[in-house]
């Protein structure tokens, strides 16, 4: 079965890179899943990468000469296309070889039997349109707080739940918790919730880019998102997400209000002395905020900065990376840090945006 088409290098490269992000890198997976699946019908080339849990498909227009199907090693074909000179590439499949010609370069790659590639079906549910920028912003606020530890699969997901008149996104790795509300976005029926792998949402947020909107279809076991000519289909995680509401303290007697950018810069500076998983200490008083990091046998850093503070004088210590993650994704110019004491979870919020919340567990220090 042949396949023959011509395509601009850059267009082909973009399609291969996007689809390749879903390709399995795990050893022991089916060999065919290390490949990208190419289907040409007329002038439409469809490029698909999948590790079964996540599938990314890119549709692109080429100059088609002969319809066909091929599976080729994803990394190799992407590296080859990237190395070619700009301009047109002629691709021809004969037997079990795919040839790629872009003078003066010629490559021939052994293909992988295409009939071994799994049949992948997207969910048939109703299509809902989402605002691209708002949804991407929400994903950036919650994706980092999900766990990357596959031993607790529930925590590797982001909970999407119907909330009042909108959609709530929640994630936690048990050290921190992110909640973001998208008001007026209803993709779920009342009380419905789904758990989507954070890895899939990370790829989706990359693909959304500057797109104005995306389309979501929700099935029983998977969800699919379409952005322009790309679709991302992901398996949903089964099981119950922890009851996160009980983790959020309702009463915080201490409240620090501070410039977000200034705090971010200061924490990044002081973090340089928080080595070997040393925490950063925040000392809060009516005089403002002092940041301190001390690493045994390395050195120490101190930085004082102005801040409005109401409450008892308090010193509380945090993992610097987790603290930075929260400050970075908080919207607006001013944030508040609300605390109870040095051991209970602290609440980081945006002064301007009530739809964002970041809960962070302090680190015990002797």
- Long-range interactions of 326-330: CB distance < 8 A, separation 24+: 326/176, 326/178, 326/358, 326/360, 327/260, 327/263, 327/264, 327/267, 328/264, 329/140, 329/141, 329/144, 329/178, 329/356, 329/358, 330/260, 330/356, 330/358
Distances (CA, A) of 73 to 67, 119, 133, 186, 258: 20, 18, 34, 40, 51
Question: Given pLDDT bands bounded at 50, 70 and 90, which one contains residue 366?
Answer: confident
Q: DSSP states of 169-186 as a string?
A: EEEE-SSEEEEEEETT--
Residue 22 CA to residue 13 CA, distance in Å, equals 15
Specify the pLDDT at position 190: 67
Q: What is the 3-state secondary structure (H, E, C) of 251-306?
A: CCCEEEEEEHHHHHHHHHHHHCCCCCCCCEEEEEECCEEEEEEEECCCEEEEEEEC
Element (H, E) at 134: helix 132-142
Please state, for a pLDDT cut of 70, what percent of the chain lies above it. 97
Which of 300, 255, 305 lies closest to 278, judged by CA?
Answer: 300
Give mean pLDDT, residues 13-36: 88
- Helix pair 74-83, 9-20: axis angle to 10 deg: 150
Q: Is the CA virtual torsion 51, 56, 58, 59 positive or negative?
A: positive
Q: Is the pLDDT of residue 182 over 90?
A: no
Task: List the single range of 132-141, 200-209, 211-220, 354-363 with lowest mean pLDDT.
Answer: 211-220
Q: Which domains does the chain have, with CATH numbers?
A: 3-116 (3.10.150.10), 127-246 (3.10.150.10), 248-360 (3.10.150.10)
Give mean pLDDT, residues 295-304: 95
Q: Which comes out higher in pLDDT, residue 2 or 156?
A: 156
Q: Is the pLDDT of residue 87 over 70?
A: yes
Specify the pLDDT at position 28: 63
pLDDT tens string 226-273: 999 999 999 999 999 999 988 888 888 999 999 999 999 999 999 999
Give mean pLDDT, residues 121-150: 88
Specify the pLDDT at position 163: 78
Question: Given pLDDT bands bounded at 50, 70 and 90, which one contains residue 193?
Answer: confident
Question: Given pLDDT bands bounded at 50, 70 and 90, which one contains residue 1?
Answer: low
């Amino acid at each position: 079965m042949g396949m023959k088409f011509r395509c601009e290098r850059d267009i082909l490269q973009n399609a291969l890179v996007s689809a390749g992000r879903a390709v399995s890198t795990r050893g022991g997976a089916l060999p065919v899943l290390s490949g990208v699946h190419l289907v040409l019908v007329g002038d439409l080339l469809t490029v698909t990468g999948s590790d079964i849990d996540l599938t990314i498909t890119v549709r692109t227009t080429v100059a088609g000469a002969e319809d066909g199907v091929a599976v080729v090693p994803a990394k190799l074909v992407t590296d080859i296309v990237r190395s070619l000179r700009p301009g047109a590439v002629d691709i021809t499949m004969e037997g079990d070889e795919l040839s790629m010609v872009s003078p003066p370069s010629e490559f021939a790659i052994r293909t992988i039997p295409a009939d071994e590639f799994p049949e992948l079906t997207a969910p048939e549910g109703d299509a809902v349109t989402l605002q691209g920028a708002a949804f991407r912003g929400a994903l950036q606020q919650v994706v980092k707080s999900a766990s990357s530890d596959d031993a607790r699969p529930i925590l590797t997901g982001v909970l999407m739940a119907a909330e009042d008149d909108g959609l709530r996104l929640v994630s936690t790795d048990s050290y921190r918790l992110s909640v973001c509300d998208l008001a007026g976005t209803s993709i779920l029926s009342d009380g419905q919730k789904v758990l989507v792998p954070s890895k899939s949402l990370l790829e989706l947020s990359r693909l959304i880019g500057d797109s104005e909107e995306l389309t979501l279809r929700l099935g029983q076991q998977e969800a699919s998102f379409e952005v322009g000519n790309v679709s991302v289909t992901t398996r949903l995680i089964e099981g119950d997400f922890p009851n996160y509401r009980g983790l959020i303290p309702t009463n915080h007697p201490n409240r620090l209000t501070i410039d977000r950018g200034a705090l971010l810069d200061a924490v990044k500076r002081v973090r340089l002395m928080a080595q070997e998983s040393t925490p950063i200490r925040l000392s809060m008083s009516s005089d403002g905020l002092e940041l301190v990091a001390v690493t045994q046998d390395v050195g120490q850093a101190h930085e004082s900065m102005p801040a409005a503070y109401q409450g008892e004088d308090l010193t509380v210590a945090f993992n610097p990376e987790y603290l930075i993650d929260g400050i970075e994704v908080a919207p607006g110019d001013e944030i508040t840090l609300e605390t109870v004491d040095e051991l209970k979870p602290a609440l980081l919020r945006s002064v301007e945006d009530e739809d964002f919340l970041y809960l962070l567990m302090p680190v015990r220090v002797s």
